[in-house]
Amino acid sequence: MDEYRDEIAKIKELLAEHPHGMSITEIAAQLKVNRNSVAKYMDILQIQGAVDGRKMGTSKVYYLSARMPALSVKQVCTRPFLILDKDSHITDTNRAFTDILGTTSDRILRQPFDTLPVQVMEGGSIQQIIKSALRGSGQRVQGKITHATGKARMATLLFEPVVFESGKPGLAIIIDERAAQPVGGETDAAFADILGMLDDQMEYVLRYSFDGTIRFANETYCRAVGKSKEDLMGRQFKPLVSPEDADRIRIHLGKLSPEYPVGMIEYRAVMANGEVRYQRWKDRAIYGDRGELTGYQSCGMDITDLVFSQQKVQKAQETLQETIASQTEELRDINRQLYTEIAAREKVEQQLLATQFAMDNAADMVFWVNHNARIQYANKRASEVTGYGADELRDALFSDLFPFFTTGRWDGVWDQLKKEGSTTSNTSQVRKDGTQIPVEVAIRYLKYQNTEFACCFSRDISERARMEQALQQANKKLNLLTSVTRHDIQNKLTVLLGYLGRTKKENKDPAIIEYLERQERAAKEIRNEMMLTRDFKDLGSEPPSWQNLREVVSNSVARNSGQEDVRLSADIPDIEVFADIHLERVFDRIVENTLRYGKKVKEITIRTQLKDRGLIVTVEDNGIGIRPEDKDTIFDLPAGDARQAGLFIAKEILSVTGISLQETGEYGKGARFEIFVPEQDHRIPA
């Protein structure tokens, strides 16, 4: 019993510290209490009218109720009003309201509200507005009221949440008749009447400035603290409470803001006769036109009798909770049986047993994901690989398994799937134990009977990754051996060319000299081919990676800006491309080719543009350009001269990741090389 009361009290204190609201999961984590127990406590608090809840995204958050007491409405409000219970039945009204309808109170009390000739002209149906207000959301709408004589009048209807003394929620409907406001001396008399009514209230009413100076206190509060209004006005508001409660009050007031100006707090205070009483205060922070805090309006009430009553019925509540728990478990068993039967019938009716079996036993991992990135289905292979049970995977976030597909990124992926139908990518997948494995993910958009979802196939490519890594290591060793061998051959060719040159000088026989020249040309061709293998030695030795295009182009421009009378410029945005690690060589080779063969080149410009969902990088010059008949052959591998293989090497480097290169310039006006990067191979840096 004590544990139950303590947990309820802790939940209310926690909600008081979080006026923006908390979900059941957050409350359970903060208090280290079972989530089902927290849900049970929140149901009880909602029945008591102590808390309200609202939907926020896919979850529901709860916060302390800011409802006004139903009794206060009747005692304070001078406008026409009705009080409704949670079933929308009229429990109270005043003479002003019955006069507007042309009836008497005994004719409408205990009657459903929808029997009255009252209509709303905005904000949806009146049932929706009442339902929203009962949940704690006050509303102000324009309505029409018809008198018993048939005469209709327009009025502003205020729907304000209230709470009855029993703790149950209710609703006050107040008619705001601005046209009936008195003027002149009548206004002063009305104001005096309001102050008199505040003095007659059973609740405490206070108003004080932001520094705590009391500006108004009603007679009820003065009697409780044993002081007159003259003694309280102009003094600091300092209730006699414990140091712990004083800190709670300070923190409570500090959390009020223009967005959430109203808060509620309960504490014990010492009265004028020395008795310790329980009090509940509803505080409203008041702000000026510029958002500055000007003071507080507080309404308090003595809840000592309520606390004692709660203690008396606590035993009965425990018995009730046991009964509820027993019946809830029975209902859960019935619900589980019902869900099982519904699932079995749906499978039979839709004739999807064969497809379901194939999905469950597929060699790849299969996930069905909805538009909110929640997993709706996972097959056996998915459970085996991830280590999660089927129940754990169901309704889990897709990003928990695939960190790349964050909630924000999933929205873009979903839009892309609806437009293109499918997408494929290599990424990493997280197991339950925290380890990551490389996977190939193929996602396809599907729509079945007005239900949209994405079918994701995930394949473990760990073995492929290991093979690729082993192949890369073998390539590195082969490149190292090739580099050493090429260096040795080049040294020997240098010696051979040297001896051939000396032999030509010392020999005068024309026939022998011709043979020596042929040998010299053959040796030089061998040396040029060795230079070509040098450019290809590291191609594909490392996996492609995301590279900052602006940095790559800037480095190339810096290396090639030493040419006289040639201006080299670049206008590249902050963007990344997925390419071979030797991407800089591409721009080096294109610029080198332009400088060597362009003739009359005075300016080279590198820029980008987005077109057809891809990225186009252009390298343009103002030279003579490329003849039409040579546009296709300039990228071929020339025979015998590696110095002319620059464009061939550039195209081969780009082709590693599917990037294309072509020449689109107009002969006589300059060359224009276009590099096309597909959509999936370029991105904005995070």
pLDDT score of 577: 92
The set of residues, in sequence order, having a beta carbon less than 8 Å from that of 39 and lying 6+ positions away, is 24
The set of residues, in sequence order, having a beta carbon less than 8 Å from that of 330 and lying 6+ positions away, is none
Average pLDDT over residues 330-354: 80
pLDDT score of 310: 80
Fold of 2-64: Arc Repressor Mutant, subunit A (1.10.10)
- More reliable by pLDDT, 576 or 507: 576
Phi, psi for 394 (deg, rounded to 5): -65, 125
Task: Indicate the range of 126-135, 529-538, 545-554 predicted with least confidence.
Answer: 529-538
Of the pLDDT bands very low, low, confident and very high (cuts 50, 70, 90), residue 48 is low
The domain 353-460 having CATH identifier 3.30.450.20: the answer here is yes
Task: Tell me the C-alpha distance between 486 and 530, whole Å.
Answer: 7
pLDDT in tens, 270-310: 887 888 889 899 999 988 765 778 788 888 888 888 888 88
Answer whether residue 640 shows pLDDT above 50: no
Fold of 68-179+189-308: Beta-Lactamase (3.30.450)
pTM of the model: 0.34
Task: Tell me the C-alpha distance between 412 and 384, whole Å.
Answer: 30
pLDDT score of 539: 58
- At position 592, the amino acid (one-letter code) is E
The set of residues, in sequence order, having a beta carbon less than 8 Å from that of 579 and lying 6+ positions away, is 544, 545, 547, 653, 654, 656, 657, 659, 677, 681
Of the pLDDT bands very low, low, confident and very high (cuts 50, 70, 90), residue 335 is confident
Task: Indicate the range of 20-34, 343-357, 398-412, 532-546 predicted with least confidence.
Answer: 532-546
Answer whether residue 358 shows pLDDT above 80: no
Fold of 545-683: Heat Shock Protein 90 (3.30.565)
Answer whether residue 54 shows pLDDT above 60: yes
Of the pLDDT bands very low, low, confident and very high (cuts 50, 70, 90), residue 564 is low
Reduced 3-state DSSP string for 347-385: HHHHCCHHHHHHHHCCCCEEEEECCCCEEEEECHHHHHH
Average pLDDT over residues 366-389: 89
The CA-CA-CA angle for residues 27, 33, 38, to 5°, reads 60
Of the pLDDT bands very low, low, confident and very high (cuts 50, 70, 90), residue 191 is very low
SS3 637: coil
The number of CA neighbours under 13 Å toward the Cβ of 110 is 2
